Chains A and B, each alone.
Chain A
Amino acid sequence: MENILRESSAKTPAINFDAKSGVLLLKGRSIPENSIEFYKPLNDWLDLYGEKPLDETTIDMKLEYFNTSSSKCILDLLKRLEKINKAGSKVSVNWYFESEDEDMEEAGEDYQAIIKLPFKMIEVEEI
């Protein structure tokens, strides 16, 4: 299946969803006014990938910040990954945050509390 490769914009993150490696990347800022529009193709891709996933799937969340419109969409994305995990692919979430960015660290913990997937919290100098 086709990969998704998107450059970042002022309001949306860079996307690299790779079906061959099973590695999914979101990197940058996610602050579009209507996030549903932006995240829909990502969800559609996951539904398709989920029909025949690799044995292991990893999502790298490298977000500088995201608006509340995106938080719901990110939850939906992670819920789809939960389903893929249940169906047999080993899914893990790498949640990156910049040192001193407690908000982003807490955001990862928020999702960790809701989503039944293994989360790795990774602190970096700069995303």
Chain B
Amino acid sequence: MQFNKIYDIYQKFEERNIIFSFSGVITSDFLNAVLDIVEAKVDYLEESPKIKKKVLKILVECVQNIYYHAENQFSFLKEEETKKKLNNALVMVVKDDEGFIIETGNYIENHLVDDLKERIENINKLDKIELRELYRDVLANGTFSDKGTAGLGMIDIARKSGNKLNYSFLPVDSDLSFFTLSVNIN
């Protein structure tokens, strides 16, 4: 790669204040490897123990959400190579003036989009107390999936963030879209 291209990328990272980024397949080892690094960086940049903890907790939930959903998806694809490529996700931690932003991006099958969009929209409509009640309701009355997920991930992320969840679904082709999530922590 040409040196000025590397510098371009470096500058973009600096401009955006990206303090951590990863692009690839999220395995169950990912968090083991990465949590300490992110914790150290956030520790260095942030005073408030409350915010530091929130960044880590929300990172865990976002990453594990991607991990759970990747396992189920793309069964319609025959080629292993394509499947692998589509399981690549993007995870970033960004520092901004008010705190941090966790941003993720991953492919999603189109038939799953409406459902997820509705869930996020519903969550965004709720205030702090309603969100707490929803969480408690799903916790007490929801059922386990076979992997142990509880339908609580997105609710928990919104609750801990205290902000609306920013998201988009970018159409890729007839089968797929690219889902991006941006969570503000401040």
**A contact residues vs B (CB 8 Å cutoff):** 10-11, 31, 33-37, 64-65, 67-69, 71-73, 75, 98, 100-103, 106, 110, 113-114
Majority-rule SS of A interface residues: helix
When distances are taken between beta carbons in the complex, the residues of chain A under 8 Å from B54 are 103
Residues of A within 8 A of B167 (CB): none
Q: Which residues of B contact A (CB under 8 A)?
A: 28, 31-32, 35, 48-50, 53-54, 56-57, 60-61, 64, 67-68, 132, 135-136, 139-140, 142, 144, 147-150, 152-153, 156, 160
CB of B50 within 8 A of CB of A102, answer yes
Query: Is the pair A110, B60 in contact by a Cβ cutoff of 8 Å?
Result: no
Among A34, A103, A113, the residue within 8 A (CB) of B136 is A113
Q: Given the complex of chains A and B, what is the CA–CA distance between A98 and B57 in angstroms?
A: 15
Interface of B is mostly: helix
B64 touches A69 (CB 8 A): yes
Residues of A near B148 (CB, < 8 A) are: 33-37, 69, 72-73
- Chain B residues positioned under 8 Å from A101 (CB to CB): 49-50, 53
Contact of A71 with B139 in the complex, beta carbons under 8 Å: yes
Residues from chain A with Cβ under 8 Å of B56 in the complex: 65
B50 close to A67 (CB less than 8 A):
no
Residues of A within 8 A of B60 (CB): 31, 65, 67
Bound Cα distance from A106 to B50, whole angstroms: 13
Q: Are A100 and B152 in contact (CB under 8 A)?
A: no
Contact B32 A33 (CB under 8 A): no
Q: Is the CB of B153 within 8 A of A68?
A: yes
**Nearest-Cβ distance from residue B52 to partner chain A, whole angstroms:** 10
Contact of B144 among A10, A64, A72 (CB under 8 A): A72
Contact check: which of A68, A98, A100, A106 meets B150 at CB < 8 Å?
A68
Known: A67-B57, A110-B132. 10 other contacts (CB 8 A): A31-B31, A34-B148, A64-B53, A68-B149, A71-B139, A75-B139, A100-B48, A103-B160, A106-B132, A114-B140
Asked if residues A33 and B67 are in contact (CB atoms below 8 Å), the reply is yes
Provide the residues of chain B in CB contact with A73, threshold 8 Å. Answer: 148
What separation, in Å, do the CA atoms of A18 and B4 have in the docked complex?
A: 62
* B160–A98 touching, CB < 8 Å: no
Q: What's the nearest-Cβ distance from chain B to residue A62, in Å?
A: 15
Are B136 and A33 closer than 8 Å at their CB atoms? no
25 contacting pairs across A/B (C-beta < 8 A): A10-B32, A11-B31, A33-B28, A33-B64, A34-B148, A36-B144, A36-B148, A65-B53, A65-B56, A65-B57, A67-B57, A67-B64, A68-B149, A69-B64, A69-B147, A71-B150, A71-B156, A72-B139, A72-B142, A72-B144, A72-B152, A98-B49, A100-B48, A110-B132, A110-B136
